[in-house]
Amino acid sequence: MTGKLNLLKQHACFNGTLSFYSHVSASCGGPMNFSVYVPHPVETDSFPVLYFLSGLTCTEENFMMKAGAQRYAAERGLILVAPDTSPRNTGIPGEEQDWDLGTGAGFYVDATEEPWSERYQMYSYVVNELPELIATHFNGDLSRQGICGHSMGGHGALVCGLRNRDRYRSISAFAPIVAPSQCPWGQKVFHHYLGEDRSLWGAYDATELVLTLSDDRRPILIDQGMADSFLAEQLRPELFVNACRQIDRPLIYREQPQYDHSYYFISTFIEDHIRFHASHLNP
């Protein structure tokens, strides 16, 4: 059942409306925030939807404020949705201690370990609860959904997209954490959220997931800045690229010289990603 939305603020933007909402999430057991851009109405009963999952420390505001995506979404008639990156102010001990664990670091998984499991259910929130809200309140067409993300959110976009071929027609990412089971960021949060049994980690590891989906031919686009300071230790895109090659999986992987991990990188190539998704959501 969809919940009541509390409008926090709203802005006109490229003939559409950018709004920020809070609501009580059934998945996460408390308040959650998200932002939504709805383009100017066109002659259609509903809009395709593109979700953007942000990275570590971000909120529902970063993408909408910095990426410059609304112009291109308006041109192509797409709803843009950006959820917060975690529940907040839950009272869980240690939630505010580290920038890469707890607040702002939900990692788009459903935590199974106490004390995180009661509130940190970001996978279910993104895949199930949030789309229902978008369909009910904003006329989103759930038969035409795409998902994109950056860094931790790139990991989330790949995992949510790969695991739900019936929900997402297109998947893209900027500098994603493609193999969290094999990097310090992922190993830290998986230990806390999912426990010591590494066999459970694979459900949230895009490099492991893609090897089990050789018959899935949906398009994936990844952009990676080659001046990214996290490239070698945390992101490791070659692992995902090699996995796709192993099963002959379609992948558009682009290395961008001189670009780093910032929103300067995202804003440079966001039009390409909007165009990519629109071609599959608005054929």
pLDDT tens, position by position, 182-209: 999 999 999 999 999 999 999 999 999 9
- Closest by CA to 109, choosing from 119, 118, 93, 120, is 120
The Cα 184–Cα 233 span in angstroms is 8
Query: So which residues are the catalytic ones?
Result: 151, 228, 261
- Report whether the peptide linkage leading into residue 176 is cis, meaning its omega lies within 30 degrees of zero: no
Please tell me the pTM assigned to this model: 0.97
Q: What is the DSSP letter of 204?
A: G
Structure tokens at 226: 């080659």
Token pair belonging to 69: 């995506």
Please state, in angstroms and rounded to a whole number, the distance separating the CA atoms of residues 44 and 47: 7
User: Amino acid identity, residue 255?
Assistant: E
Q: Is residue 135, in this structure, part of any structural domain at all?
A: yes
Per-residue pLDDT band for 15 (boundaries 50, 70, 90) equals: very high
Span 153-187, pLDDT tens digits: 999 999 999 999 999 999 999 999 999 999 999 99
**SS3 at position 36:** strand
Q: Is residue 1 part of a domain?
A: no
Q: Which CATH number goes with the domain that contains 135?
A: 3.40.50.1820
- pLDDT score, position 20: 98
What pLDDT band is residue 1 in, cutting at 50, 70 and 90? very low
Query: 283 in a domain, yes or no?
Result: no
Query: What six digits make up the tokens of 50?
Result: 């593109």
Q: Phi/psi at 204 (nearest 5 deg)? A: -120, 25
Query: For 235-262, where are the alpha helices, taking DSSP H only?
Result: 237-246
Structural domain count, the chain: 1
| Structural domain includes residue 195 | yes
What DSSP assignment string belongs to 155-182?
HHHHHHHHH-TTT-SEEEEES----GGG
Say if 149 falls within a structural domain: yes
- Residue 43's pLDDT band, with cuts at 50, 70 and 90, is low
Residue 167 CB coordination number (10 Å): 16
In a domain, 194, yes or no: yes
Is it the case that residue 41 has pLDDT exceeding 80? no
Q: Which domain does 204 fall in, by range?
A: 6-278
Distance CA(155)–CA(177), nearest Å, equals 5
List pLDDT tens digits, range 69-87: 999 999 999 999 999 999 9
In a domain? residue 264:
yes
Start-to-end Cα distance in the chain: 31
Residue 15 placed within a domain: yes
